[in-house]
């Protein structure tokens, strides 16, 4: 169901950062992140340019930076047009420089990137793609996970292994439960339907799905989520081994519920 551009509700805001969810393509989210103190604005994973540019212009913001989590076209397709319109600088995984193209600042595990005074640690989270990164604003209790950690799900293993994704999930699970998770797709409803099959006795999943189904019926988004909510309801984050995660991922890949 299409969603309008909208600012993340106040209770989901992270400190002084302003975060705007911008639906693009069929089910992607790009994220505008604005620092009022410096006037800097970046967009994470612009799958297409026009909705992102329109959302920024409506708020009087000029996009200064583009941050990409990985090379897939539905996450980088708007890069060129946004750079042409704004002169924005592109930050992305150094390991995927050739696939993304036009990267000004290549990053990897342990690097720190900034938006104004706000600092984000770069985490390498392979599996969906091998160079995939996440951006963790620890002081702002926010993480942008691209196509690795979803609400009640994880990304497909296009380039990696269950061991890769299990390692990612283990790292995410150590973050403070209040950390808000901004991912790249509105997959929550389909992920939740599988989660009910994977963990049929988990009442937290059942209760959450009631809220998810109501939100989607009303045309509302279900993202962001939180680490705490995922620890309670996400079978992939709750998996106790790489082998178990691999079983879950293979079953989800063929799930048609």
The dihedral built from the CA positions of residue 224, 134, 233 and 151, taken in this order, carries a sign that is positive
Query: Quick one: which H or E segment has residue 140?
Result: none
Q: Is 185 annotated as a binding residue?
A: yes
Residue 112 DSSP SS3: strand
* DSSP state at residue 100: H
Question: How many angstroms separate the CA atoms of 171 and 51, rounded?
Answer: 33
Q: How far apart are CA 152 and CA 137, in angstroms?
A: 21
- DSSP-derived letter for residue 181 is E
Does 128 appear as a known binding residue? yes
Residue 104 among known ligand-binding residues: no
Measure CA 147 to chain center.
6
Pairing of strands 180-183, 153-154: unpaired
75 is in an annotated binding site: yes
74 annotated to bind ligand: yes
Q: Which residues are annotated as a binding site for Zn(2+)?
A: 70, 72, 74-75, 128, 147, 185
**Which residues are known binding-site members?**
70, 72, 74-75, 128, 147, 185
């Amino acid at each position: 169901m299409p969603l309008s551009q909208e600012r993340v509700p106040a209770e989901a805001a992270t400190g002084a950062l302003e975060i705007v969810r911008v639906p693009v393509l069929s089910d992607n989210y790009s994220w505008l992140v604005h620092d009022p103190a410096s006037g800097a604005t970046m967009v994470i994973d612009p799958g297409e340019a026009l909705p992102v540019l329109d959302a920024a212009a409506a708020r009087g913001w000029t996009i200064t930076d583009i941050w990409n989590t990985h090379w897939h076209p539905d996450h980088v397709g708007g890069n060129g047009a946004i750079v042409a319109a704004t002169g924005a600088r592109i930050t992305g995984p150094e390991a995927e420089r050739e696939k993304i193209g036009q990267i000004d600042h290549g990053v990897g595990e342990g690097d720190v990137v900034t938006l104004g005074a706000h600092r984000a640690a770069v985490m390498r989270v392979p599996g969906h793609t091998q160079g995939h990164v996440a951006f963790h604003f620890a002081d702002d209790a926010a993480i942008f996970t691209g196509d690795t950690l979803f609400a009640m799900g994880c990304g497909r293993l296009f380039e990696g292994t269950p061991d890769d994704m299990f390692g990612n999930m283990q790292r995410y699970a150590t973050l403070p439960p209040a950390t808000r998770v901004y991912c790249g797709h509105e997959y929550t409803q389909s992920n939740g339907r599988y989660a009910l099959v994977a963990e049929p006795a988990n009442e937290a999943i059942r209760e959450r799905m009631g809220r998810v189904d109501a939100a989607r019926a009303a045309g509302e988004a279900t993202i962001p989520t939180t680490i705490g909510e995922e620890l309670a309801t996400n079978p992939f984050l709750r998996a106790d081994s790489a082998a178990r995660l691999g079983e879950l991922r293979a079953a989800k890949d063929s799930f048609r519920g």
